[in-house]
Amino acid sequence: MRAFHGNAYIDSMPVCLTMELGQELGLALVIIGIVMVLIELATPGAFIIIPATALLVLGFIGLAAPDILLSWWSPLIAVGIMVPLTYVTMKLYQRLAPPAPPETTVATSLVGMVGVVTTAVAPNNLKGKVRIEHDTWSATASKVIPVGKKVVVKASEGVHVTVEEVP
């Protein structure tokens, strides 16, 4: 008996074994697809959903019609699924998380912000350090300000700020 497998006929494999192979392969693809969907749910934006969906569709085809899964149609079906799905997924992710401008802190935007001294600040000296939000800046002041004191930024120049102790 001749069974069609891929692009060749296999004389030694009965048709029922070919169907079993196709169904087992289909089940394996469904399981791998489900695992990949779960990974995508845990780490959104990884684009694992695209191959996962293709594997799920091919797996269900393999369970329903194992002969198609073992034919040359299988790669065409996979490409036919993945190309439009890639486009749809990219558009969906763009709607869910529109691109935002990069977050940067410019020294001039620090004026008026409150921070905490992490290294003692002294006049005419840039060895002092002040933590403002999540960044540490070199600081100077008109008088010595010890570690742990709250300060407010009065001026900035480059990556250095001039601060005053908060009363």
- In the block, tokens 């699924």 appear at 81
Whether residues 49 and 127 fall in one domain: no
Residue 103, token pair as written in the block: 């977050």
Whether residues 116 and 65 fall in one domain: no
Whether residues 78 and 30 fall in one domain: yes
**CATH code at position 146:** 2.40.50.140
Whether residues 128 and 85 fall in one domain: no
Number of separate domains in the chain: 2
pLDDT tens track of the chain, all 167 residues? 444 445 554 444 555 556 688 788 889 999 999 999 899 888 877 778 888 888 888 888 888 888 887 788 888 887 888 788 878 877 877 777 666 666 656 656 788 999 999 999 999 888 899 998 888 899 999 999 999 999 999 988 878 899 999 88
CA separation for the pair 54, 81 (Å, rounded)? 6
Whether residues 59 and 119 fall in one domain: no
102 within some domain = no
Whether residues 119 and 149 fall in one domain: yes
CA separation for the pair 53, 3 (Å, rounded)? 29
Within 10 angstroms of residue 57's Cβ, the number of other Cβ atoms is 19
Whether the pTM exceeds 0.85: the reply is no
Domain boundary among 68, 96, 124: 96
Residues 57 and 68 sit within 8 Å (Cβ to Cβ) = no
Segments forming the whole domain that contains residue 83: 3-96
135 within some domain = yes
